[in-house]
């Protein structure tokens, strides 16, 4: 295994004074153009109040009070980047249906140029509907989630059209993110196109891959960012110890032949395995009393990519992403943060 730290324990993060440099990176976010290839998902939240038991079945009847649609999946990554001030070039698909129209409307309202998003006939937009119920003046709890998935595979012609869209809109960007949730957008040909733009020897741009099920397909990317459960599933690990996790991490990083592997670990922070460096453990930022982890991985990928595009090295970029994630998980739903929130936290 090609690493001097293969049998060494992880170093703990200790970088006093790095926040000033990070503030300068945040100031550059608004000048950056970031391409996003990925699966656009509509996160639907239906809020209601339980009123009585049903006579039809032993279930509670919940009276609907309101519903909201929040961009999810790659659409949440796009929303994160936009709220952080960057110009976003999205490439993906939605169906020619009401949910797809609403999702595109939310992105347009946020100031996103959606010309790279293709609307497909007879294709269902991916949606995840969460029913949350509770009495007045109480925190509503999630009762059930219903997933609405595409009713067909994308055709070869539709996949080829995605690559044409990448060629048309993706030439002048400062970095790329692939946000792969296992649906249509991250086809092998599209991933190959983004990979070909990955920086090597001073050429190309940073490329970051966040993939739920296909970790091994993203070789040659600058950084791959699985969470710990995704990583363990990919390697068939069941409750691994630190040494076993490290060994698998080194193997994965070397196999992918990128610059680094970043494993996010919930309330245990992050583990960065960069080529030619000791493994780095970055503790969780802020409270470990997490409100909601939904979309935290999208925030990590977004801020990591922006920081790399702004000139940060990997440890600094990961620390900044860690701070951003610590802010996001204290909000409900697939939330985003603003540059001012990030600046305040860095100064604090």
Catalytic center residues: 298
297 within 8 A of 305, measured Cβ to Cβ = no
CA 307 to CA 184: how far, in whole Å? 28
CA 231 to CA 215: how far, in whole Å? 8
Query: Residue 342: enclosing H or E segment and its boundaries?
Result: helix 339-347
Rg (CA), the chain: 20
Is residue 21 exposed (0-12), middle (13-18) or buried (19+ Cβ within 10 Å)?
Answer: middle
| Stated length of the chain | 348
Return the residue matching tokens 């309101």: 66
CA 306 to CA 133: how far, in whole Å? 37
Query: Hey, what are 194's tokens?
Result: 């983004």
CA 195 to CA 209: how far, in whole Å? 10
Residue 20 three-state SS: helix
Query: Hey, what are 34's tokens?
Result: 């970031």
Strands (E), 157-247: 175-180, 207-211, 223-224
Query: Hey, what are 329's tokens?
Result: 């998980």
Strands (E), 158-200: 175-180
CA 276 to CA 341: how far, in whole Å? 33
Backbone angles phi, psi at 296, to 5 degrees: -60, -35
224 within 8 A of 191, measured Cβ to Cβ = no
CA 23 to CA 26: how far, in whole Å? 5
């Amino acid at each position: 295994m090609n690493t001097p730290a293969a049998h060494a324990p992880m170093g703990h993060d200790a970088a006093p004074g790095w926040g000033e440099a990070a503030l300068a990176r945040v100031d550059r976010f608004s000048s950056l153009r970031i391409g996003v290839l990925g699966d656009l998902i509509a996160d639907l939240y239906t809020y209601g109040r339980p009123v009585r038991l049903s006579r039809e079945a032993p279930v509670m009847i919940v009276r609907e009070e309101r519903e909201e649609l929040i961009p999810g999946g790659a659409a949440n990554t796009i929303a994160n980047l936009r709220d952080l001030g960057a110009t976003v070039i999205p490439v993906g698909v939605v169906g020619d249906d009401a949910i797809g129209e609403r999702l595109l409307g939310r992105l347009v309202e946020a100031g996103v140029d959606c010309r790279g998003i293709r609307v497909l006939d007879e294709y269902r937009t991916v949606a995840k509907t969460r029913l949350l119920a509770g009495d007045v003046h109480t925190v509503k709890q999630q009762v059930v989630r219903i997933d609405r998935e595409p009713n067909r595979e994308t055709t070869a012609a539709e996949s080829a059209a995605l690559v044409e869209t990448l060629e048309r809109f993706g030439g002048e960007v400062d970095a790329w993110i692939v946000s792969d949730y296992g649906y249509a957008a991250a086809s092998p040909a599209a991933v190959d196109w983004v990979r070909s733009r990955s920086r090597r020897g001073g050429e190309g741009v940073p490329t970051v891959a966040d993939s739920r099920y296909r970790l091994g397909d993203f070789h040659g990317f600058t950084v791959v960012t699985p969470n710990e459960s995704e990583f363990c599933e990919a390697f068939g690990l069941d409750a691994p110890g630190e040494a076993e996790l490290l060994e698998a991490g080194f193997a994965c990083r070397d196999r992918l032949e990128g610059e680094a592997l970043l494993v996010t670990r919930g309330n245990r922070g992050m583990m960065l395995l960069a080529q030619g460096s000791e493994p780095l453990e970055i503790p969780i930022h802020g409270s470990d009393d997490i409100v909601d982890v939904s979309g935290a991985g999208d925030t990590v990928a977004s801020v990591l990519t922006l920081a790399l595009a702004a000139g940060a090295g990997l440890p600094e970029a990961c620390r900044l992403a860690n701070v951003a994630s610590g802010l996001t998980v204290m909000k409900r739903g697939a939330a985003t943060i603003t540059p001012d929130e990030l600046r305040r936290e860095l100064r604090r």
